[in-house]
Chains A and B, each alone.
Chain A
């Protein structure tokens, strides 16, 4: 990887961290558990990295390790988003009752 490419990645990394702090410091405590659960699902993005490893593997070992990582990542993504959705459905139920 060229130095220029690494540098531009570093820029993206630092800006994304700064943006993450800004986005999250204003979430009410009420939503902290769903937020943790949702961000937990978002780091399931590792499934994409795992797929890249499998698709570009030159070696049987990395292909195998990559497939294990794909499995882990899929559990993380699907489980994470569904659990979060279930939690948030309850909030909706509560507020609907209040309105009605």
Chain B
């Protein structure tokens, strides 16, 4: 079905708005405008579709009701979700998009079969690509949501023979697709089986992945949904779907690549390595009590006030969970008022998405020029008096650098252990997502542990610094 000239031009205009919008997202000053430009493009593309395909009043009314319902659900969730829970809701919105792409492809296949089923093999390939990738993204995103929202499936869920099961299911999907393409019997039923298998694969691929790798998985699933949308666009002959989906597919792929590079972990290791890695490496909290130096807020404040001129803060996911970004910003301002130099070191995967910490600290009104990436700050730790680590663990674990057998070997870490004094605000000695012990905790000469909730701990330190100043 070819589109009319007018609709094609309007779709092209909408695609241009998406491209321009993403361009504006390159800089913090214009990013918000970029988002609005893209949203306007979406609106234009949506409206012109009704001009292209006239329908009866009942159908239009049904669509209006469903769109209103979906908008209400999406809108209310989006307005209420706290910034700390952003990663799982991005995952959820991504998942429903993937589900929609798979349903579109399946429906189009059903219609084509009803109409005689003599469609080009290229179109059928795109249809099955969309069913597979869209279904996988839907189920995988829901598992990611459940994990991040801490409803269930915490940590890395593995079972014996997991790789064989995953490989077998994937091979079965490919066989079924070939059977349909070769004109085998009951194509619609086979397509439904492919969709069901895609859902199962999505679940199986994401359950073994631990929290630390979650940003990469969400980014990958975002790319998947984009590609599925583009493939549905190919099946429908709809250019705006093709362009928008391809842009997102490309962006998600780049982001995924950047992130897995930042972790020093090839994507294949993240996706398929959990099963193999389980059970290796020194397990933490295995009963052995090692001594640590712990102190109260006053002790930490004394160290910062009297023994430090240059201080680096390292916020981690624990800061986000405790909603302590405001408390950290207050401590920064208090220390700056006493003439200290305070910087923030942001690990590429601090929090659970790239840039997540930047968003939280921006919310707390920390100036962006105080935030430094790993490459920019890592050489400065050696000349820094004190480091304050809040709710972070694996990203400052020196074993990543020193122990080639560690599960996080090769992951770039912040060299907090090079500073003169290290303060760690943490609720307990429990290990991070990687589930391994951190020798930095037990360096009694250098490290002081402040066992506390991140927010209360930081507020206590701020108060003590003020009293001592």
Contacts and interface: CB of A to CB of B under 8 A. Distances in A.
Interface of A: 1, 3, 5-6, 9-10, 12-13, 16-21, 23-59, 61-63, 65-95, 97-98
Contact of B230 (A16, A18, A65): A16
A93 to B, nearest CB: 7
Nearest to A16: B246
Contacts of A68: 100, 103
Contacts of A98: 367-369
A43 B107 contact: no
Contacts of A32: 255, 258, 353-355
Contacts of B239: 9, 12
Interface stretch (B114-122, B300-308, B398-406, B453-461): B114-122
A40 B94 contact: yes
A75 B355 contact: no
A70 B67 contact: yes
Interface stretch (B69-77, B418-426, B433-441): B69-77
Main secondary structure of the interface of B (DSSP, over half): helix
Nearest to B354: A32
Among A17, A49, A50, A80, find the residue whose CB has the most chain B CB atoms closer than 10 A. A49
B269 interface: no
Nearest to B137: A43
A81 B63 contact: no
Main secondary structure of the interface of A (DSSP, over half): helix
Contact of A51 (B49, B89, B120): B49
- B-side interface size class: 35 or more
B21 A87 contact: no
Contacts, number: 387
B352 to A, nearest CB: 10
B106 interface: yes
A13 B241 contact: no
Contact of B97 (A65, A66, A76): A76
16 contacts: A12-B242, A24-B254, A32-B355, A41-B39, A41-B93, A42-B18, A43-B226, A47-B67, A49-B104, A54-B62, A55-B63, A62-B110, A74-B66, A87-B83, A93-B362, A94-B363
B236 interface: yes
B227 to A, nearest CB: 9
B355 A30 contact: yes
B114 A58 contact: yes
Contact of A33 (B241, B245, B353): B353
A68 B103 CA distance: 8
B237 to A, nearest CB: 6
B245 A43 contact: yes
A52 B248 contact: no
Contacts of B104: 46, 49-50, 53, 66, 69
The 8 A-B pairs with the shortest beta carbon distances in the complex, nearest first, are A20-B250, A74-B70, A79-B74, A16-B246, A82-B78, A32-B354, A33-B355, A32-B355
A76 B100 contact: yes
Contacts of B94: 40, 43, 76
A83 B78 contact: yes
A89 B86 CA distance: 14
A82 to B, nearest CB: 4
B218 interface: yes
Interface stretch (B22-30, B284-292, B388-396, B407-415): B22-30
Given A42-B18, A72-B103, A29 B234 contact: no
A69 B107 contact: yes
Given A6-B122, A13-B234, 19 more contacts: A16-B250, A20-B249, A28-B27, A32-B354, A36-B354, A38-B22, A39-B22, A41-B39, A43-B222, A49-B101, A53-B107, A62-B107, A66-B104, A70-B70, A72-B100, A76-B97, A79-B73, A82-B75, A94-B362
B248 A46 contact: no
Contacts of A43: 94, 97, 101, 222, 225-226, 229, 244-245, 248
A62 B365 CA distance: 49
B96 A34 contact: no
B348 interface: yes
